[in-house]
């Protein structure tokens, strides 16, 4: 039977418990999951590519069918280069829908053989995103419940080194 190779693209600046929830669900559904960091020239990430990769490797090390990678350019081209047949996206709230709908249909137009599968994280993460976590951390607010310890530590260091 054909292997189900999935890719989970995102900025992961930084990876949160909400992302991990999606990665774990995908790892249980597909033969392999490639979590891939999108290198987008228009975003100015807080963490470098290497830092984001290191955090993702650390927090997914117990999932044997998950690997971490980076890409730039078109997502569909990247998926083709990895022989992936599934793109995973998380759907948190209705507000995600329009953007995700547009992306998924555009990607399908570019390659009809690659389907987008939407997974819903646990409801306790539905309002979470990385910008919110970064902003809270910059004001020294407690973000412990949103992040794994390893990432929490890196985020604290990032803001303490700014001062």
19 flagged as catalytic: yes
Catalytic residue among 53, 89, 92, 134: 92
Identify residues 1-40 at the interface with ligand COA (CB under 6 A).
9-11, 13, 16, 18-19, 22, 38
Looking at beta carbons only, is 74 or 141 nearer to ligand COA?
Answer: 74
Measured CA to CA in angstroms, residue 63 lies from 28, 29, 125 at distances of: 9, 12, 20
Whether 33 contacts 65, CB under 8 Å: yes
What would the two tokens of residue 112 be? 């009809």
Identify residues 49-88 at the interface with ligand COA (CB under 6 A).
74-75
Which residues, listed in sequence order, are joined to residue 7 by a DSSP beta bridge?
34, 87
Among 9, 18, 8, 10, smallest CA distance to 133 is for 18
3 flagged as catalytic: no
44 flagged as catalytic: no
Looking at beta carbons only, is 1 or 99 nearer to ligand COA?
Answer: 99
DSSP-derived secondary structure for 17-80: HHHHHHHHHHHHHSSEEEEEEE--TT---SS-HHHHHHHHHHHTTT-TTEEEEEE-S-HHHHHH
Q: Which residue number has the CB closest to ligand COA?
A: 18
Identify residues 107-146 at the interface with ligand COA (CB under 6 A).
107, 121, 125, 128-131
Residues making contact with ligand COA (CB under 6 A):
9-11, 13, 16, 18-19, 22, 38, 74-75, 90, 92, 103, 106-107, 121, 125, 128-131
Which active-site residues does the annotation give? 19, 43, 92, 130
């Amino acid at each position: 039977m054909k292997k189900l190779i999935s890719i989970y693209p995102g900025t992961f600046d930084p990876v949160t418990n909400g992302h991990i929830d999606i990665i774990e669900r995908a790892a249980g559904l597909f033969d392999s999951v490639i979590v891939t960091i999108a290198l987008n020239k228009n975003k100015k990430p807080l963490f470098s590519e290497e830092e984001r990769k290191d955090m993702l490797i650390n927090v997914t090390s117990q999932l044997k069918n998950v690997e971490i990678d980076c890409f730039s350019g078109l997502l569909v081209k990247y998926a083709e280069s990895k022989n992936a047949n599934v793109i995973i996206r998380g759907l948190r709230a209705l507000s995600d829908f329009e953007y995700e709908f547009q992306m998924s249909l555009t990607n399908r137009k570019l390659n009809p053989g690659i389907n987008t599968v939407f997974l819903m994280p646990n409801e306790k993460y539905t309002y979470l995103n990385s910008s919110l976590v970064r902003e809270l951390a910059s004001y020294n607010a407690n973000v412990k419940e949103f992040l794994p310890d390893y990432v929490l530590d890196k985020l604290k260091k990032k803001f303490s080194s700014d001062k």
